[in-house]
Amino acid sequence: MSSRTALIVGATGLVGRELLNVLLENDHYSKILIVGRSSPSVKDNRIEELLINFDDLANYKDQISANDYYCCIGTTMEMAKSKEAFYRVDFTYTMELAKMSKEDSMCDQFHIVSSYGANAQSGLFYNAVKGQVEDALKELNLRALHIFQPSLLLGYRKNFRLWEELAKVASGVLSFFIIGSRLKFWAIEGSEVARSMFYVALSGETGTHVHKPLEMKRIAHTKEYKGDNSVTADV
């Protein structure tokens, strides 16, 4: 078994939960550090938990260290209740973690779940914040930054979201009629995102890279990622 350590922030969410399962299926990591407000339901002797209040994240700097950081935190306006609270979760917490990873001499890679519509100039608040996060992360010049941009995420969530359930139904119907480049806008399973994150991490590729839905699906199912030069960009 490898002596590498993984860190997952957001391990109780859709992608984070699937990612934890993927990491436990493999022996690439001897330790998996879970950082969050609550414990994951799965137990394993490789898992170490650090339950925190994210508003005090900086106070845990000495306890947070890993080879590969996986940032899977995120919220919705419905859950956050205000733009300020949404921004704090999606931007402030993420950037604090990223800055900690940059100062962590052990860290090789930083992986983050963003959104396909991320654009700092977007008129949609959600997409604009996601874009601002991506831009700020790129400015950190991390050794390896991998940004995953799923479209509609499919999978079990603890919190019922009516608009997502309706979108899933529409996705199932319309997927029979969607062809060509428009496929990249359509749904992707949380498990596919998680598996693509793991296989990208295995590559050890440095630099800044953005991974879009079709590429993530391809990586998840082929279980292989050879770097940007080996895939067709989803643009």
**Where do we find the tokens 């279980």?**
223
Beta strands in 52-190 (DSSP E): 68-71, 109-113, 144-148, 153-154, 188-189
Residue keyed to tokens 């296989």: 199
Is the distance from CB of 63 to CB of 4 less than 8 angstroms? no
In the chain, the number of structural domains is 1
Please tell me the distance from the alpha carbon of residue 20 to that of residue 42, in angstroms, as a whole number: 9
* 233 inside domain: no
Cβ atoms of 64 and 50 closer than 8 Å? yes
pLDDT tens column, 60-74: 999 999 999 999 998
Residue 37 resides in a domain: yes
Residue 136 sits in a domain whose CATH number is 3.40.50.720
pLDDT score of 176: 43
**Structural domain that includes position 83:** 4-227
Question: Does residue 109 fall inside a structural domain?
Answer: yes
| Assessment of whether the complete model's pTM goes beyond 0.75 | yes
Of all residues in the chain, the percent with pLDDT exceeding 70 is 83
In a domain, 160, yes or no: yes
Please tell me the predicted confidence (pLDDT) of residue 78: 86
Q: Per the domain annotation, does 193 fall within a domain?
A: yes
pLDDT in tens, 83-92: 999 999 999 9
212 in any annotated domain: yes
